[in-house]
Amino acid sequence: MTRGPEIKNAQAELHRFRVRLAIGGAIVLLMFGGLFSRFFFLQVVQHEHYQTQAENNRISIVPVAPNRGLIVDRNGSVLAHNYSAYTLEITPGKVHNVDKLIGQLSAIVDISVRDRKRFKKLLEESQDFESLPIRTRLNDTEVARFVANRYRFPEIELKARAFRHYPKAELASHVVGYIGRINDKDQAQLEASGRAPNYRGSLHLGKIGLEQSYEKELHGAAGFERVEIDAGGRVVRALSRTPPVSGSNLILSLDIRLQEIVEQAFGDRRGAFVAIEPATGEVLAFLSKPGYDGNLFVDGIDSQNWEALSTSPDRPLSNRALQGQYPPGSTFKPFMALAGLDLGKRTPQTTISDPGFFTLPGHSHHYRDWKLSGHGRVDLHKSLVISCDTYYYGLANELGVDAINSYIGQFGFGKKTGIDVEGESTGILPSTAWKQKRHKQKWFAGDTISVGIGQGYNIATPLQLAHATAVIANDGKAMKPHFVKQIQALDAAQPAAVEPVPLNTIDFKPDNLRRVQAAMVDVTRTGGTAAKAGANAEYVFAGKTGTAQVIAIKQNEKYDESKVADRHRDHAWFIAYAPAENPKIAVAVLVENGGHGGSTAAPIARIAFDYYLLGKRPEITGIAPEDDEAQSD
Amino acid sequence: MRRKVTSRLYRLLVGHIDGWLMLAVVLLLAAGLTVLYSASGESVARIETQFVNMAVAFTAMWVVANIPPRYLMSLAVPMYIAGLLLLLGVALFGEIVNGARRWLDIGVGRIQPSELMKIALPLTMAWYFNRYEAVLGFRNFCIAALLLIIPVALIAKQPDLGTAILISASGFYVLFFAGLSWRVMVGLAIITGASLPVLWSVMHDYQRMRVMTLLDPTTDPLGAGYHIIQATIAVGSGGLTGKGWLKGTQTHLDFLPERTTDFIFAVFSEEFGLVGNSLLLIGFMLVIARGLVIAANATTLFSRLLAGAITMTFFTYAFVNMGMVSGILPVVGVPLPLISYGGTALVTIFLGFGILMSIQTHKVRAS
């Protein structure tokens, strides 16, 4: 071509053209051959790889949350159940302006300030990709209105959800507890314990109470659905399904009607009530007043309610029965009496002279009896019936704190009872070693004296006292207290019984126990400190009153009930069991700032016994206000 | 008498239709409709629209097939000039769609002048070589190359790199068949190779990213790489015999993008497998083989160059599309001829077939 213009040879030109065409054809073959090799490589050599990728593309495993088990009381009354309802949910990560969206939504369905606050709180606690409820429990009209306007809110999802509901609300909240949304901390724990896969479809777990301690049984096993999804992640159809296994139902030993009657008997008073079946350790009633409504917590509590609950001076969130730590006061005396007899420091016949106070030899400090004039000559029986302090000052001094500690420890003081909910307090049953460890101080002889009447370093929970009372009622055989009587798995024909767990057996000299039990019976009879509560009972019952000091009384100062503010009044205690000859129920009653045990706490026990043993309901609800009649402790 | 009328009518209708080419084209169109029905989610409306497109394309082809090559030759320069003006118009007043200025509103509707160039450029270059057949020299090749570079540069600037490359390919084929010296071709190849590093150094970061994505789509699996990854999965998961018609999961669950147009071959591959792909390749080769035969038998330089270039351009379209879908070529917007949904590209391709048929059926009279 660079040879310049020349006359072309047509034949040669045609030949060259055809050669080039042939080259073109060869290129076509070569290139298509290349394509074919590529197809072969993808579709034959690597087919399996791409087949897997295509399957992964289209198939997604969707967890299906199991239904949570129900919680019912011993008579089948429902304490926790599920119902389904519609919620409106927002995934904050997909929305530009959440507030604006909620504003628009509120024109369609009612969104209260409370809903907004709760949503805000959830927003702070969760991650952006989580779907959070803005409105729960929509009624049919609201659902219809939303559906009609759905096109305007592509970011908002209408979901049918199972909701946990506690029909007894405040009444059982301190036993049942509540579930709450799984937060970051819960998630971390689930992952650490390897349970996270089972919770992939779940939004909630038990946070407190039985809901927490029986989480494993209640939750059940997650199911899985293999679904075909499209590129947008929408489910096209289900391919296969492994159904979830619903959680087991819990059948409690709790008698919610008993609990209700007791609750009413408390009226507006704060306090705690624990009832245990002595032979088995089954908890029959477990009340902490005031309670709270666990339903508020299920989908995140709003700040207003939270504020109200957490700052209330009545501390409704505090579980007094489980965690409240009070000096046991004179309810400690039966245990002291047993220690005195069993350890040989006293005989039933031993008497002391009570001048109204006790002094340590070589000291001048007066440990005063509640009765300033003294009780005169007092033996063991009388010491319990009239609750003589001086008798126990001397006994404590003779026993020494470490003997008291090791003997009375057998009743469960100073340690957890092992009840089947978490968060139990241990209380304090002091010893020299304990003081050294805790206060880095030597134990003084004077420290022992007030221990004898359940004051000083002594601290116990209502649960511990009910348990200790049950041990006396059960002739020294300690049974582990527990709420759950049976666990009903869905696939089992019969519920599995929770076997009573014996803790320890106290090796009394049997006569000693009879003596103390007899004295406790006389406490509820004429002349006893709980005579009024025991009047006309159709069964024999044993009890012991007590008073827990809230403020210290100075030497030579009389405790004048009328002068102290209500919050500084003593707490009233009463422990009891009935029927005395064959105990079915042992209780501990604590009325905060109730003053004397005999007048405020004991009547509640009587009401409980009347109902539990005889089926009698109290004629009036609530207890009579304390009268001014001089009452003993 | 009646037989005579019938026979004349027959000759009028199919007298300039090349049977072999037609047969191969119809086979491919049938395959296209089959896969389009699946790719469109079993949309009858799409099929109907595509039938209309085909009718228009057939008519255009029939008209062109009936025009003798010498008249076609006389259309070359006006078409080329019109195309250039329209391209200039696009550059100045064009509408921007999807970030590129490719469309021109001419009052009655929008047109894409680069489509016109696909025909006009090889036509003009073949006309040019034919005109200087007797005195063909290096200078002519340079001028022909200039005819090529001007429209390609305008199209590349829109930017529509895919079309620019394909149009330059069609122009290159004319040069190649006209006898472009091997030395020049080797020289061009060396210069191109050498300029790549220089080009890389002047590219913007986003352009480099794009190139990287082309080379390794997994670096951007949710962005630009998504198309190619999903297409490759579709092809690979098709296996030897495919998942069956209407049963491609990649297709029917929306994982494949552009699945009725540029990526329709992925649907075909997924549902018909390697066997289907091989048959499709054979179908394309039939068309190409017939085109090359027509070129070989063409009687004028114009006809030869044009037929060769059109045939090889058709091959290039098919190759680039299938290469792109199967992940060996970068993603450029090129439909698969005769298979992809869409009217404009179909008409352009059928115009090419019309030219081939015209060349084949008019050659006796031309010689």
Token couple for B230? 């999903």
The CATH number of the domain holding residue A594 is: 3.40.710.10
Strand bridging mode A352-354 / A249-252: unpaired
> How many structural domains comprise chain A?
3
Among chain A residues, CA nearest to B239: A43
pLDDT band, residue A625 (cuts 50/70/90): very low
CA atoms within 13 A on the CB side of A403: 18
Q: Compute the nearest-CA separation of A92 from chain B (Å).
A: 22
The answer to whether B79 and B120 are in contact (CB under 8 A) is yes
List the beta strands (DSSP E) in chain B.
Answer: 95-97, 100-105, 110-111
Q: Compute the nearest-CA separation of A131 from chain B (Å).
A: 23
Q: Choose the final residue of a domain: A166, A198, A221.
A: A166
Q: Is B269 on the interface with A (CB under 8 A)?
A: yes
Three-state DSSP class for residue A161 = strand
d(CA A148, CA B89): 49
CA atoms within 13 A on the CB side of A510: 1
The answer to whether A546 and A633 are in contact (CB under 8 A) is yes
H/E element holding A80?
A: strand A78-90
Q: Which residues of A307-337 are buried (b: 16+ CB within 10 A; e: fewer)?
A: eebeeeeebbbbbbbbbbbbbbbbbbbbbbb
Q: Compute the nearest-CA separation of A171 from chain B (Å).
A: 53
Q: What is the mean pLDDT of residues A109-114?
A: 85
Q: Which of B137, B255, B284 sits opposite A57 (nearest CB)?
A: B255
Q: Is B253 on the interface with A (CB under 8 A)?
A: yes
Q: Is A228 on the interface with B (CB under 8 A)?
A: yes
pLDDT exceeds cutoff 70 at A624: no
Is residue A84 classed exposed, middle or buried when 0-12, 13-18 and 19+ CB atoms within 10 A define those classes? exposed
pLDDT exceeds cutoff 50 at A622: no
Token couple for B322? 């299938």
Q: Compute the nearest-CA separation of B288 from chain A (Å).
A: 8
Contact at CB, B326 and A20, closer than 8 angstroms: no
pLDDT band, residue A532 (cuts 50/70/90): confident
d(CA B363, CA B192): 39
Q: Are residues A172 and A214 in the same domain?
A: yes
Q: Which of A20, A36, A55 sits opposite B281 (nearest CB)?
A: A36
Contacts 24+ apart (CB under 8 A), B293-299: B294/B18, B294/B21, B294/B356, B294/B359, B294/B360, B295/A21, B295/B177, B295/B359, B296/A17, B296/A18, B296/A21, B297/B360, B297/B363, B298/B359, B298/B360, B298/B363, B299/B363, B299/B366, B299/B367
pLDDT exceeds cutoff 90 at A113: no
Give me the helices (H) in A164-316, please: 173-176, 184-192, 209-213, 215-219, 256-266, 303-311
pLDDT, position B110: 66
Least confident of A414-428, A528-542, B104-118, B295-309: B104-118
Q: Which of A7, A28, A53 sits opposite B285 (nearest CB)?
A: A28
A23 falls within a domain: no
pLDDT more than 90, % of chain A: 27
Token couple for B85? 């003006």
Three-state DSSP class for residue A560 = coil
The CATH number of the domain holding residue A181 is: 3.90.1310.10
Contact at CB, A35 and B319, closer than 8 angstroms: yes
H/E element holding A315?
A: none
H/E element holding A503?
A: strand A502-505
Among chain B residues, CA nearest to A230: B253
Most confident residue range from A47-61, B277-291, B321-335: B277-291
Report which DSSP code applies to A102: H
d(CA A202, CA A189): 15
pLDDT exceeds cutoff 50 at B288: yes
pLDDT, position B102: 72
H/E element holding B155?
A: helix B138-156
Contacts 24+ apart (CB under 8 A), A191-197: A197/A222
Closest CA to A604 of A570, A556, A558, A572: A572
B236 contacts: CB under 8 Å, gap ≥ 6: A42, A43, A46, A47, A49, A50, A51, A53, A54
Residues of A in contact with B122 (CB under 8 A): none
pLDDT exceeds cutoff 70 at A562: no
Q: Choose the final residue of a domain: A115, A134, A166.
A: A166
pLDDT exceeds cutoff 60 at A533: yes
Q: Is B222 on the interface with A (CB under 8 A)?
A: no
Catalytic residue among A173, A213, A253, A330: A330
Residue A493: Cβ within 10 Å count: 6
Backbone angles phi, psi at B226, to 5 degrees: -55, -50
Least confident of A364-368, A583-587, B188-192, B266-270: A364-368
pLDDT exceeds cutoff 50 at B367: no
d(CA A376, CA A382): 10
- At residue A379's C-alpha, the angle toward residues A377 and A381, to 5°, is 130
Three-state DSSP class for residue B15 = coil
Q: What is the mean pLDDT of residues B42-52?
A: 93
Tell me the pLDDT tens digit for each residue of A209-268: 999 999 999 998 888 888 887 776 677 778 888 888 889 999 999 999 999 999 988 888
Backbone angles phi, psi at A137, to 5 degrees: 50, 60
The answer to whether B264 and B340 are in contact (CB under 8 A) is yes
d(CA B275, CA B252): 21
In whole numbers, what is the pLDDT of chain A averaged over residues? 85
Residues of B in contact with A20 (CB under 8 A): 176-177, 179, 308
d(CA A297, CA A310): 13
pLDDT exceeds cutoff 90 at A45: yes
Closest CA to A600 of A564, A547, A549: A547
pLDDT, position B120: 94
Residue A330 known to be catalytic: yes
Report which DSSP code applies to A599: I
A554 falls within a domain: yes
Based on DSSP, count helices (H) and strands (E) in chain A, helices before strands: 22, 23
Q: Are residues A107 and A65 in the same domain?
A: no
Tell me how far CA of residue B154 lies from CA of A144, A189, B273, B344, in angstroms. 58, 64, 40, 20
A547 falls within a domain: yes
The answer to whether A541 and A534 are in contact (CB under 8 A) is yes
Residue B159: Cβ within 10 Å count: 13
What type of residue sits at position B177?
A: F
pLDDT exceeds cutoff 90 at A35: yes
Q: Is A444 on the interface with B (CB under 8 A)?
A: no
Residue A591: Cβ within 10 Å count: 30
Q: Which of A2, A25, A47 sits opposite B292 (nearest CB)?
A: A25
pLDDT more than 70, % of chain B: 92
Q: Are residues A162 and A178 in the same domain?
A: no
Task: Report pTM.
Answer: 0.67
Q: Which residues of A512-549 are buried (b: 16+ CB within 10 A; e: fewer)?
A: bbebbbebbbbbbeeebbbbbbbeebeeebbbbbbbbb
Give me the helices (H) in B15-112, please: 19-39, 44-65, 69-93
Residue B143: Cβ within 10 Å count: 14
Between A467 and B220, name the one with better pLDDT: A467
Q: Are residues A100 and A195 in the same domain?
A: no
The answer to whether A321 and A187 are in contact (CB under 8 A) is no
Q: Are residues A288 and A213 in the same domain?
A: no
pLDDT exceeds cutoff 50 at B289: yes
Tell me the pLDDT tens digit for each residue of A380-403: 888 888 888 888 988 998 888 999
H/E element holding B307?
A: helix B301-325
Q: What is the mean pLDDT of residues A346-370?
A: 85
pLDDT exceeds cutoff 60 at A6: no
Tell me the pLDDT tens digit for each residue of B192-231: 888 888 878 877 776 677 677 667 776 666 666 778 888 9
What angle, 0 to 180 degrees and rounded to 10, lies between the N-to-C axes of helices B138-156 and B69-93?
40
Q: Are residues A384 and A483 in the same domain?
A: yes
Give the A window 4-33 contacts with B, CB below 8 Å: 4-8, 13, 16-18, 20-21, 24-25, 28-29, 31-32
Q: Which residue has the tokens 């085909």?
A: B54
Interface test with B, best of A8, A16, A21 (most B CBs within 10 A): A21
pLDDT exceeds cutoff 50 at A285: yes
pLDDT band, residue A3 (cuts 50/70/90): very low
pLDDT exceeds cutoff 50 at B74: yes
Is residue A558 classed exposed, middle or buried when 0-12, 13-18 and 19+ CB atoms within 10 A define those classes? exposed
pLDDT band, residue A29 (cuts 50/70/90): very high
Contacts 24+ apart (CB under 8 A), B150-157: B150/B84, B151/B80, B151/B83, B151/B84, B151/B87, B151/B117, B151/B121, B154/B84, B154/B87, B154/B88, B154/B90, B154/B91, B155/B87, B155/B114, B155/B117, B157/B91
Q: What is the mean pLDDT of residues A127-140?
A: 77
Backbone angles phi, psi at B114, to 5 degrees: -65, -25
Q: Which of A25, A44, A55 sits opposite B274 (nearest CB)?
A: A44
A5 falls within a domain: no
Q: Are residues A347 and A226 in the same domain?
A: no
Between A546 and A300, name the one with better pLDDT: A546
pLDDT more than 70, % of chain A: 93
Q: Is B236 on the interface with A (CB under 8 A)?
A: yes
Q: Which of A8, A53, A232 sits opposite B233 (nearest CB)?
A: A53
Q: Are residues A299 and A368 in the same domain?
A: yes
Q: Are residues A71 and A132 in the same domain?
A: no
**Which ipTM was obtained for this model?**
0.94
Token couple for A119? 């949503």
Q: What is the mean pLDDT of residues A532-542?
A: 86
d(CA A579, CA A541): 5
A574 falls within a domain: yes
Beta bridge partners of A438: none
Is residue A503 classed exposed, middle or buried when 0-12, 13-18 and 19+ CB atoms within 10 A define those classes? middle
Interface test with B, best of A35, A45, A229 (most B CBs within 10 A): A35
pLDDT band, residue B366 (cuts 50/70/90): very low
Q: Are residues A248 and A261 in the same domain?
A: no
The answer to whether A330 and A545 are in contact (CB under 8 A) is yes
Tell me how far CA of residue A234 lies from CA of A58, A154, A161, A227, A421, in angstroms. 10, 14, 19, 10, 42
d(CA A102, CA A156): 10
Q: Are residues A421 and A307 in the same domain?
A: yes
pLDDT band, residue B14 (cuts 50/70/90): confident
Q: What is the mean pLDDT of residues A53-80?
A: 86
Q: Which domain holds residue A196?
A: 54-77+168-252
Closest CA to A478 of A337, A278, A276: A278
Q: Are residues A402 and A271 in the same domain?
A: yes
Q: Choose the final residue of a domain: A124, A148, A166.
A: A166
Beta bridge partners of B356: none
A42 falls within a domain: no
Contact at CB, A35 and B322, closer than 8 angstroms: yes
pLDDT band, residue B318 (cuts 50/70/90): very high
| Secondary structure (DSSP) of A393-426 | HHHHHHH-HHHHHHHHGGGTTTS----SSS----
